[in-house]
């Protein structure tokens, strides 16, 4: 591709995305379907201006999936991973084994050899991480039961790709197609088994140790340069380097970057890395979806439409059925289970990789691969549509509301208080108010929680509280207080902005996560800001002093004084915080702030000796000096 | 015009008929600050700096409160303990409050007739208030006589309205220094200086 061609292609792809995605979102189809449709439209089926198929592009675009897993890793704490272990191994493992077995049986029935059938079964048992996660995130379902289960299954599949790639050569029954590129291959290909295992292990360890110790030092250096783009370059370098390493040792790049992400999840650079990678990830992922759309070979569809669509239908029914049954066994709630089953019923992007390598490796014949490729792509296109059907027709019947527009007509009461977010913070506020005879309207984005609370008779509405229409239908125009108890600081800030703009009648009480968060709320003009941990920490401090032998009341007084002082200091810090000259990372900012706080504690130290009214020292001094006993006692 | 600071201490204002009306009427006065202590310090965490600053900004201080167990509600005592510091309010160098005027404005549920030697409470109200008076003196302030609304359990809303209005009138006269024409030292209760509003219940 020469330069001019490249730019023309870029214009076509970008224009298609820019036109189709907003349109799709406007009519409520979601961005994934928008991208896919854009691909179909510029592809050979409609306009035919997408150049030579999507396949070339797909290789680059698959990198978007790799980046997505890096970002997912960043957002994932090891603790969560541990909590999901049953779902990952149990649900994920069973899904793959059962689905593979069923598809394999069907293939054998239709006269394929055992090896070929197994290969097809393995390929088709995978689901699309890209489509599912993107769609679920867009709908705010990742934290829900369905989201967590889907994530677990996808994670298992991503890991499973490695052994699948490893056993594929054993399944070869057709002549190997010579391809010089693929034979530049991996470092491990010609090594004996134990060396391969050792190399794989070593590279995983390298990522963990590198991520823990070296990468942080590296990013600290980059941060000190004060060049934002160098930090971005560093972030990209990290992801690409891990990808290269993984490919060289024959592991899945997606898994490698996922691991790197998890390792860096608790580092101080987490948010920087996330926001740096995010736009690349988004673009490449979009490109990937477009490429899927382009790659659908409509000549095959035209030749054998019945075969193709009955294959797609059977396949998705089978996959969805297995998922639904497993969901039942793993006790997903009905609505969550439907979402889970519909969501994962397509075949994933790894299938493309496996299919092309299986042609080259002589695992599958070219003709079948072409048909399967089309089936896979169409199943991907169907997923957002299925989710939409599920949302419109199935979910309303199950009781839990998935979309705010359905809530609108059901919010029939006008409470003085609206609580946004009924998690571990909001629920205490809400229960306390209820105990004192104040009813509140609750907006909650976690549909499981919505279910539970409804059973206890709370008026809870599912949905994203930052949406104007939901706020409006919850009675924000007539309520007096809006309690912002959402855990996600950015969402909370968004909600504050919306509420200020559209509902000036509301008084806002906001939960703040940390200091920077508090400052943002201060900037937004909030008067009632509640830092999540300050009161509890001080109560702990009081008890600590007491256990050390101090009187409880004095400890309590000291804590009150400390709080007052801390709040004063907070206001001062808020005023000067933008003066910091260098670009400093969140963690350094925190250290700086802590330093200033402690300095100010020391400066004000004498004031911490409070309550002179109960201190007799000065009276005793005066009596001893003058001796005329004018003290009150 | 003299600036008035009302140190108001009532733990259950929402249940009070008398004090809510008193506050309602005095709120209209100029140069008057109401410092609602239970609202300001629900956990008795009196901000000494703020309170001392307020005291310095005013000329006449009123301890307004219901009469609980022959004294004021606990937070007012906490306020006295913490705010009137040695070396600031009293003691050799404690002259911050010198010359300011101060008095109690209180409500009693029972009748004042219970407060004489033959009554249930044996001692006159003024004597029960001796600790406040002495506190004021030690802080070199001039203690005026207390103002009392008694028998509140039996008062009709109309009478309360009249008395609350009278209270505001009293403060206004103090503000304008109109009470100095009377020998205030000789009066046991500020009520004695007022007209015949309270003819139905003399002290």
Strand order in the sheet with A417-420: A460-462, A440-444, A417-420, A481-484, A507-512, A528-531
The closest of B86, B33, B88 to B64, measured between CA atoms, is B33
- In chain A, what residues touch B48 (CB-CB under 8 Å)? 610-613
Closest CB to B91 among A557, A611, A622: A622
Give the pLDDT score at B110: 86
> Which DSSP string do the residues of B64-86 spell out, in sequence order?
EEE-BTTB--HHHHHHHHHHS-B
Residue A444: give its domain's CATH number. Answer: 3.40.50.720
Cα distances (Å, whole numbers) of residue A608 to A554, A602, B44, B179: 11, 9, 17, 44
Closest CB to B92 among A612, A613, A622: A622
In a domain, A602, yes or no: yes
The number of beta carbons lying within 10 Å of the beta carbon of residue A349 is 27
Query: Sign of torsion, CA B33 B36 B37 B43?
Result: negative
Closest CB to A613 among B45, B47, B82: B82
The closest of B57, B54, B26 to B172, measured between CA atoms, is B26
- In chain B, what residues touch A614 (CB-CB under 8 Å)? 81-82
Q: A563 with A512, same domain?
A: no
Q: A306 with A169, same domain?
A: yes
Domain closes at, from A499, A532, A565: A532
Cα–Cα dist A373/A322, whole Å: 22
Contact A286, A278 (CB under 8 A): no
Cα–Cα dist A356/A369, whole Å: 8
Regarding an ipTM greater than 0.85, the answer is: no
Cα distances (Å, whole numbers) of residue B45 to A562, B48, B96: 12, 9, 22
Q: Report the predicted TM-score, pTM, of the whole model to 2 decimal places.
A: 0.51
User: In Å, how far from its chain's centre is CA A508?
Assistant: 28
Given pLDDT bands bounded at 50, 70 and 90, which one contains residue B201?
Answer: very low
Q: Min CA distance, B63 vs chain A (Å)?
A: 19
Q: Which residues contact A261 (CB under 8 A, 6 or more apart)?
A: A69, A70, A71, A72, A73, A74, A75, A76
Give the pLDDT score at A601: 63
In a domain, A17, yes or no: yes
In a domain, A542, yes or no: no
Cα distances (Å, whole numbers) of residue A9 to A12, A48, A62, A498, A555: 5, 12, 18, 39, 70
Q: A512 with A604, same domain?
A: no
Q: A336 with A424, same domain?
A: no
Given pLDDT bands bounded at 50, 70 and 90, which one contains residue B6?
Answer: very high
User: In Å, how far from its chain's centre is CA A152?
Assistant: 13
The closest of B63, B71, B58, B18 to B37, measured between CA atoms, is B63
Residue A264: give its domain's CATH number. Answer: 1.20.1530.20
In a domain, A171, yes or no: yes
Helix, strand, coil percent values for chain A (each to nearest 5): 70, 5, 25
B98's tokens? 């010198």
Domain carrying residue A486: 406-532
Long-range CB contact pairs, B88-95, < 8 A, 24+? B88/B52, B89/B139, B90/A630, B90/A632, B90/B138, B90/B139, B90/B140, B91/A618, B91/A619, B91/A622, B91/A630, B91/A631, B92/A622, B92/A626, B92/A630, B94/B139, B94/B140, B95/B140
Give the pLDDT score at B181: 53
Give the pLDDT score at A1: 55
Q: What angle do CA B46, B48, B53 make, to 5 degrees?
A: 125
Burial of A359 (0-12, 13-18, 19+ CB in 10 A): buried
Give the pLDDT score at A598: 66
Q: Min CA distance, A332 vs chain B (Å)?
A: 47
Cα distances (Å, whole numbers) of residue A271 to A243, A274, A334, A463: 21, 5, 35, 26
Cα radius of gyration rounded to whole Å, chain B: 16
Give the pLDDT score at A600: 65
Locate tokens 């930090």: which residue?
A231
Give the pLDDT score at A464: 75
Give the pLDDT score at A511: 94
Residue in chain A lying closest to B134 (CA) = A632
Interface of B with A (CB under 8 A): 43, 45, 47-48, 81-87, 90-92, 134-135, 138
- In chain A, what residues touch B95 (CB-CB under 8 Å)? none
The closest of A360, A182, A351, A161 to A252, measured between CA atoms, is A161
In a domain, A435, yes or no: yes
Give the pLDDT score at A158: 78
Closest CB to A611 among B82, B84, B91: B82
Give the pLDDT score at B10: 96
Q: For B112-120, what is the mean pLDDT?
A: 86
Residue in chain A lying closest to B78 (CA) = A613
Q: A299 with A392, same domain?
A: yes
Q: B86 and A611: CB-CB below 8 Å?
A: no
In a domain, A75, yes or no: yes
Q: A622 and B47: CB-CB below 8 Å?
A: no
Give the pLDDT score at A179: 47
Q: A24 with A133, same domain?
A: yes
A310's tokens? 């009955």
Cα–Cα dist B166/B105, whole Å: 12
In a domain, A85, yes or no: yes
Q: Min CA distance, B84 vs chain A (Å)?
A: 7
Which H or E run contains B143?
Answer: strand B142-143
A553's tokens? 């009341």
Burial of A578 (0-12, 13-18, 19+ CB in 10 A): exposed
Q: Min CA distance, A621 vs chain B (Å)?
A: 11
Domain closes at, from A345, A379, A397: A397
Q: Which residues of chain A have pLDDT under 50?
A: 178-184, 399-412, 581-587, 629-631, 633
Closest CB to B45 among A560, A618, A622: A560
Cα–Cα dist A216/A225, whole Å: 15
Domain closes at, from A362, A397, A432: A397
Give the pLDDT score at B180: 57
Q: A568 with A487, same domain?
A: no
Q: A342 with A370, same domain?
A: yes
Cα–Cα dist A173/A595, whole Å: 68
Q: A142 with A269, same domain?
A: yes
Q: A300 with A388, same domain?
A: yes
- In chain A, what residues touch B42 (CB-CB under 8 Å)? none
Q: B91 and A611: CB-CB below 8 Å?
A: no
Number of domains comprising chain A: 3
Q: What angle do CA A167, A170, A171 make, to 5 degrees?
A: 95
Q: A121 with A164, same domain?
A: yes
Q: B82 and A564: CB-CB below 8 Å?
A: no
Give the pLDDT score at A576: 63
Q: Min CA distance, A632 vs chain B (Å)?
A: 8
Q: A631 and B86: CB-CB below 8 Å?
A: yes
In a domain, A190, yes or no: no
Give the pLDDT score at B84: 96
Give the pLDDT score at A447: 65
Q: Which residues contact A186 (CB under 8 A, 6 or more apart)?
A: A247, A248, A249, A250
Q: Which SS3 state, helix, strand or coil, does residue B105 take?
A: strand
- In chain B, what residues touch A612 (CB-CB under 8 Å)? 48, 85-86
Give the residue with greater pLDDT, B101 vs A144.
B101
Q: Min CA distance, A132 vs chain B (Å)?
A: 52
Contact A382, A346 (CB under 8 A): yes
Q: A119 with A248, same domain?
A: yes
Q: pLDDT by residue (tens digit) across A210-237?
A: 887 888 778 777 777 767 778 788 888 8
Residues in chain A: 633
User: For residue A151, which phi and psi values (nearest 5 degrees)?
Assistant: -60, -45
Q: Which SS3 state, helix, strand or coil, does residue A226 take?
A: coil
């Amino acid at each position: 591709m020469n330069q001019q061609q490249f730019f023309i292609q870029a214009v076509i792809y970008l224009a298609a995305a820019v036109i189709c995605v907003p349109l799709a979102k406007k009519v409520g189809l979601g961005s994934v379907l928008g991208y896919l449709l854009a691909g179909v439209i510029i592809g050979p089926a409609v306009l035919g201006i997408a150049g030579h198929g999507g396949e070339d592009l797909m290789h680059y675009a698959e990198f978007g999936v790799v980046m997505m897993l890096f970002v997912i890793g960043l957002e994932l704490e090891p603790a969560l991973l541990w909590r999901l272990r049953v779902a990952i191994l149990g649900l994920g493992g069973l899904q793959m084994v059962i689905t593979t077995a069923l598809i394999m049986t069907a293939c054998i029935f239709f006269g394929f050899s055992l090896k070929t059938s197994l290969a097809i079964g393995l390929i088709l048992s995978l689901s699309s991480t890209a489509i599912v996660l993107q769609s679920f995130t867009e709908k705010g379902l990742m934290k829900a039961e369905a989201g967590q289960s889907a994530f677990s299954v996808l994670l298992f599949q991503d890991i499973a790709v490695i052994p699948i790639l490893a056993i594929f050569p054993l399944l070869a029954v057709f002549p190997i197609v010579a391809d010089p590129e693929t034979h530049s291959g991996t470092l491990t290909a010609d090594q004996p088994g134990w060396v391969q295992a050792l190399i794989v292990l070593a590279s995983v360890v390298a990522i963990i140790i590198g991520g823990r110790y070296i990468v942080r030092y590296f990013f600290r250096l980059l941060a000190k340069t004060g060049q934002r783009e160098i930090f971005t370059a560093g972030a990209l370098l990290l992801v690409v380097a891990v990808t290269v390493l993984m490919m060289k040792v024959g592991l899945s790049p997606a898994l490698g970057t996922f691991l790197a992400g998890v390792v860096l999840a608790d580092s101080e650079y987490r948010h920087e890395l996330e926001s740096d990678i995010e736009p690349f990830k988004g673009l490449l992922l979009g490109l990937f979806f477009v490429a899927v759309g382009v790659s659908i070979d409509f000549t095959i569809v035209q030749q054998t439409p019945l075969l193709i669509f009955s294959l797609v239908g059977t396949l998705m029914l089978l996959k969805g059925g297995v998922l639904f049954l497993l969901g039942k066994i793993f006790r997903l709630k009905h609505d969550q289970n439907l979402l889970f089953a519909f969501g994962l019923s397509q075949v994933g992007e790894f299938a493309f990789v496996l299919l092309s390598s299986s042609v080259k490796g002589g695992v599958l014949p070219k003709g079948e691969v072409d048909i399967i490729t089309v089936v896979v792509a169409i199943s991907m296109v169907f997923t957002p549509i299925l989710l939409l059907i599920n949302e419109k027709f199935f979910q309303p019947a199950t009781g839990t509301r998935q979309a705010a527009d359905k809530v609108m007509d059901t919010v029939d009461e006008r409470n003085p208080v609206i609580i946004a977010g009924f998690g571990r913070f909001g629920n205490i506020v809400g229960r306390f108010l209820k105990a004192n005879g104040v009813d509140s309207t609750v907006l909650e984005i976690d549909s499981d929680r919505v279910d539970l609370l409804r059973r206890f008779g709370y008026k809870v509405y599912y949905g994203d509280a930052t949406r104007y229409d939901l706020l409006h239908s919850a009675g924000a125009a007539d309520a007096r207080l809006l309690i912002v108890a959402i855990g996600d600081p950015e969402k909370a800030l968004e909600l504050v902005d919306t509420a200020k703009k559209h509902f000036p009648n509301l008084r806002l009480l906001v939960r703040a996560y940390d200091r920077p968060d508090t400052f943002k709320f201060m900037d937004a003009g909030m008067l009632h800001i509640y830092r999540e941990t300050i009161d509890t920490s001080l109560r702990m401090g009081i008890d600590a002093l007491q256990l050390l032998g101090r009187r409880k009341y004095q400890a309590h007084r000291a804590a009150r004084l400390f709080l007052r002082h801390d709040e004063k200091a907070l206001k001062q810090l808020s005023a000067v915080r933008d003066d910091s000259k260098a670009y400093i990372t969140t963690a350094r900012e925190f250290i700086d702030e802590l330093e200033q706080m402690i300095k100010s504690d020391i400066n004000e130290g004498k004031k911490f000796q409070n309550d002179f009214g109960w201190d007799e020292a000065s009276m005793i001094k005066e009596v001893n000096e003058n001796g005329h006993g004018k003290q009150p006692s | 015009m003299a600036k008035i600071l009302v140190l108001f201490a009532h733990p259950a204002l929402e249940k009070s008929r008398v004090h809510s009306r008193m506050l309602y009427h005095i709120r209209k006065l100029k140069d008057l600050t109401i410092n609602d202590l239970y609202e300001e310090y629900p956990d008795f965490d009196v901000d000494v700096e703020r309170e001392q600053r307020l005291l310095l900004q005013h000329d006449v201080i009123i301890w307004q409160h219901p009469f609980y167990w022959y004294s004021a509600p606990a937070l007012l005592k906490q306020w006295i303990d913490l705010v009137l510091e040695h070396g600031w309010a009293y003691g050799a160098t404690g002259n911050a409050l010198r010359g300011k005027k101060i008095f109690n404005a209180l409500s009693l549920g029972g009748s004042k007739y219970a407060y004489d030697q033959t009554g249930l409470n044996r001692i006159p109200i003024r004597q029960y208030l001796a600790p406040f008076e002495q506190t004021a003196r030690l802080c070199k302030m001039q203690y005026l006589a207390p103002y009392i609304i008694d028998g509140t359990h039996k008062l009709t809303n109309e009478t309360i309205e009249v008395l609350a209005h009278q209270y505001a009138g009293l403060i206004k006269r103090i503000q304008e220094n109109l009470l100095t024409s009377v020998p205030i030292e000789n009066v046991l209760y500020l009520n004695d200086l007022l007209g015949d509003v309270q003819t139905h219940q003399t002290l």
